[in-house]
Amino acid sequence: MTSPAGLDRDPGAVKDALRNHQIELPSWAFGNTGTRFKVFGQPSVPRDPIEKAADAVQVHLYTGVAPSMAVHIPWDKVADYSALAAHTASRGIRIGAVNANVFQDDDYKLGSVCNPDARIRAKALAHLLECVDIMDATGSRDLKLWFGDGTNYPGQDDIGARQDRLASALAAVYARLGPGQRMLLEYKLFEPSFYTTDVPDWGTALLHCTALGPAAQVVVDTGHHAPGVNIEFIVAMLLRSGRLGGFDFNSRFYADDDLMVGGGGPIPAVPHHARDGEGGRSCAVGGGGVHARPVPQHRAEDPGADPLGDERAGSRRQGAAC
């Protein structure tokens, strides 16, 4: 296996790359945790983005490598996103990637942007564009997209038509991006759909991103592949094409484990390919490119009002992230 230029000859370069390697914490990692069958409540769970940010600050304080926190909308919905960004900045971290959620609404039973119903597609697209507005307000660089869209049996929908609908939605979102902003497209082999998944692999994601432009890049979740897939090869190919947007650290003992604590996976692929010094390419491991993965979770009850005017305060359910 060939190392990126210079790293195999200079161990110091490897150490320097790792010192500069940054991990973006997902806000939902600080919620209640458990399994896909039961979520176990625990005391002092953050009730809103402000309290999640306080926990993220502590992680960065002790590690020095986690200066940003990704948010998930609507789990982290507030009335004033500029105020949220100012608050996190005052504590020494920043808002990272804005993650859209088009998989938990009843309307999305047959998909979101790939749904055969034009009304539902429009609803999903409006949410994606709202997330870009939130990027503008918070100063976030990255829009993170994962779609649970797919089918569960042959004949449920036209596979090609679903790809056309997906391409149309992605193009509309890409056109809305501002200078310096990126769209990160994540893929997943299966689940929640089991016959076809509309973005099942890195090739599908890469084709869509290539059609859009350089600000559209692919996210590699290390738990989203079939058994035996060589993830380091995928990383190398995406780096070569300049389309590696970042990683989600995840394990794959069986399928998509959604584990961080106690998880195991092909994490060595990340620092090994983190920087290509000769070609000047680097994967987006800083400033929002890498997410540590939480255990699947749901939000605890949120008594009282959110300090930023969270419209969903009172009760909120948060499902396992992509």
Q: What's the pLDDT tens digit per position in 258-297?
A: 765 555 555 555 545 544 433 333 333 333 345 544 333 3
Model-wide pTM > 0.75: yes
Three-state SS at 248: strand
Three-state SS at 15: helix
Q: Note the pLDDT of residue 264.
A: 58
32: its two tokens: 């209640």
* Residue 133 Ramachandran class (φ > 0 left, ψ -120 to 50 alpha, else beta): alpha
Mean pLDDT across the stretch 26-46? 87
> Alpha carbon of 10 to those of 2, 16, 83: distances in Å?
14, 10, 44
Percentage above 90 pLDDT, the chain: 63
Task: Say if CB 113 and CB 102 are below 8 A apart.
Answer: yes
Instruction: Count the residues in the chain.
Output: 322
Angle (CA) 229 231 235, round 5°: 145
> Alpha carbon of 113 to those of 151, 161, 181, 265, 322: distances in Å?
13, 11, 21, 31, 16
Model confidence band, residue 173 (pLDDT cutoffs 50, 70, 90):
very high
Domains and CATH numbers, the chain: 11-291 (3.20.20.150)
Looking at the DSSP assignment, which residues form a beta bridge with residue 221?
Answer: 248
Q: Note the pLDDT of residue 134.
A: 98
